[in-house]
Copies of this chain bind each other. A is one copy, B any other.
Amino acid sequence: MTEQEMAEKTVKKMLKHDGFSAWLGIETVEIHPGSAVLRMKIRKEMLNGFNICHGGIPYSLADSALAFASNSDGLISLSLENSITYLSKINEGDVITATCNEVSSSGKIAVYEILVQKSDSTKVAFFKGLVYKTGKEIS
């Protein structure tokens, strides 16, 4: 199996059981070894008390992108610490896309960065994720 085939197979397996990504309506745009592009549309039940998108929604999209990118080699990675900077507000009906790329991977630790953008390319969030690579195969 090539690395690309492994990445696609792994994400397919993960998505099949990922109830929260399903609720979010996450669509896989691209998967490559160490990277992922995911997309979703903001629905009314994703808004907060100020009638704009809850901060947990773009975070969750980015966190799913991190999970798919960091597990794309078929080995389990665990999130240790993530941070997110909010750059612009998101409204109902907006389609947002998270693009996750590997910054560094050495031994047990890997770092990824994720940019979340609207359809018109407006940057809405920037996310950094640190994972621990267990080395164990995804069953």
> What is the interface of chain A, defined by CB distance below 8 A to chain B?
13-23, 44-51, 54-57, 59-61, 63-64, 67, 76, 78-88, 103-104, 106, 109, 111, 113, 115, 123, 126, 128, 130, 138
Distance of A82 Cα from B16 Cα, bound (Å):
29
Distance of A60 Cα from B60 Cα, bound (Å):
8
Nearest chain B CB to A123 CB, angstrom units: 5
Give chain B residues whose Cβ lies under 8 Å from the Cβ of A13: 49
Distance of A128 Cα from B50 Cα, bound (Å):
21
Distance of A104 Cα from B108 Cα, bound (Å):
21
* B55 engages A82 (CB within 8 Å): yes
Nearest 6 CB-CB pairings of A with B: A56-B60, A14-B49, A83-B83, A20-B54, A18-B49, A19-B45
* B82 engages A111 (CB within 8 Å): no
Give chain B residues whose Cβ lies under 8 Å from the Cβ of A55: 60, 63, 67, 79, 82
Known contacts A63-B54, A123-B106; is A83 also within 8 Å of B128 by CB?
A: yes
Q: Which of B46, B67, B82, B130 contacts A48 (CB 8 A)?
A: B67
6 contacts between A and B (CB under 8 A): A18-B49, A19-B46, A56-B64, A83-B128, A85-B104, A103-B123
